[in-house]
């Protein structure tokens, strides 16, 4: 099962979160071993069950940090843009900060794909008691990694809602999390979901950091075809997603076909040139 193959990196990321909470007094906290009770909770209640193709509950209502009521479906207006969906919360001791920082960094490094013009990002808060002020602080932090947010912070949608509605969206995408009373933390994995313009789950990416190429190809693969550049189309033809490696790998046969096609075109152009040169009349003698 794919979830089991991902269990080690997911548990490592979760260990960073819990360990940081236990060592919060340190400037640079060192992750500590997980208590047995937490390990049991992680094994049974936390993880990701990939539900590719599942429809999100777009009619559910949430609120922005400014207090505006919105529908999840407002972020899927049918304009062809994919949506990156994450689950985080402001008072997460380490994991959420690291995950969102990594996302902001990769967004800044991807050329040809601009937030708000080519894709959207929606972050749902796991903590229903989170204040708008704390949500804004996290959103403002993201502007330090992705500079366009300094002018238009609302481009990255940080939404809060009832525990039931957040859980409903999480269940729809197979994102399992739980609240631990002893530590006062929401235990969850580091994962983001890419959703199609009509609100269906298309791709999962795991971890705190991943290459810009992986993020770009995931966006291009999920977006409407009209938003893909010629370069994106060529890359998608030559690369395919490998879920075991959480990355895109060379599709050898497609790459070979592309190479042969380019070679055949080049050869044809050369032969045509030689043929035309051979048919030119010889220059008249003086």
Tens digit of each residue's pLDDT (9 = 90 or more) over 36-72: 666 666 667 899 999 999 999 999 999 999 999 999 9
- Tens of pLDDT, residue by residue over 66-109, are 999 999 999 999 899 999 999 999 999 878 999 999 999 999 99
DSSP secondary structure string, 252-284? HHHHHHHHHHHHHHHHHHHHHHHHHHHTSPPPP
CA separation for the pair 73, 54 (Å, rounded): 15
pTM for this entry: 0.72
Q: What is the pLDDT of residue 45?
A: 85
Per-residue pLDDT reduced to its tens digit, 182-202: 888 899 999 999 999 999 999
The answer to whether residue 13 scores a pLDDT higher than 50 is no
Q: From CA 108, how far away is CA 115, in angstroms rounded? A: 9
Q: Can you list the domains of the chain with their CATH numbers? A: 2-222 (3.40.30.10)
Nearest CA to 173 out of 5, 24, 35, 54 is that of 54
Question: What's the token pair of residue 247?
Answer: 């990355």
Q: Is there a contact between 152 and 145 (Cβ–Cβ < 8 Å)?
A: no
Nearest-angstrom CA–CA distance, 118 and 113: 6
Q: What does DSSP assign to residue 205?
A: E
For position 27, what pLDDT does the model report?
40
């Amino acid at each position: 099962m794919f979830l089991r193959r991902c269990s080690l990196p997911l548990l490592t990321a979760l260990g960073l979160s819990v360990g940081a909470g236990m060592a919060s007094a340190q400037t640079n906290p060192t992750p500590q071993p997980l208590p047995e009770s937490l390990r049991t909770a992680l094994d049974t209640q936390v993880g990701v069950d990939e539900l590719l193709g599942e429809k999100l509950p777009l009619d559910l209502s949430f609120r922005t940090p400014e207090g505006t009521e919105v529908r999840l479906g407002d972020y899927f207006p049918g304009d062809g843009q994919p949506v990156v969906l994450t689950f985080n919360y402001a008072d997460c001791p380490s994991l959420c900060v690291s995950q969102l920082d990594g996302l902001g960094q990769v967004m800044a490094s991807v050329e040809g794909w601009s937030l708000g013009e080519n894709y959207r990002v929606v972050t749902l808060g796991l903590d229903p008691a989170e204040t708008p002020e704390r949500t804004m602080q996290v959103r403002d932090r993201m502007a330090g990694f992705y500079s366009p947010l300094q002018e238009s912070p609302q481009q990255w949608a940080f939404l809060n809602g009832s525990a039931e509605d957040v859980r409903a969206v999480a269940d729809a995408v197979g994102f399992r999390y739980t609240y631990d009373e002893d530590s006062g933390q929401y235990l969850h994995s580091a994962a983001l979901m890419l959703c199609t313009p009509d609100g269906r789950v298309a791709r999962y990416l795991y971890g705190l950091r991943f290459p810009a190429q992986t993020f770009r190809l995931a966006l291009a693969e999920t977006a409407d075809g009209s938003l893909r550049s010629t370069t994106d189309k060529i890359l998608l033809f030559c690369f395919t997603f490998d879920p075991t490696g959480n990355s895109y790998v060379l599709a050898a046969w497609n790459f070979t076909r592309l190479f042969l096609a380019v070679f055949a075109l080049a050869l044809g152009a050369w032969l045509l040139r030689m043929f035309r040169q051979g048919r030119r009349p010889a220059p008249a003698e003086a």
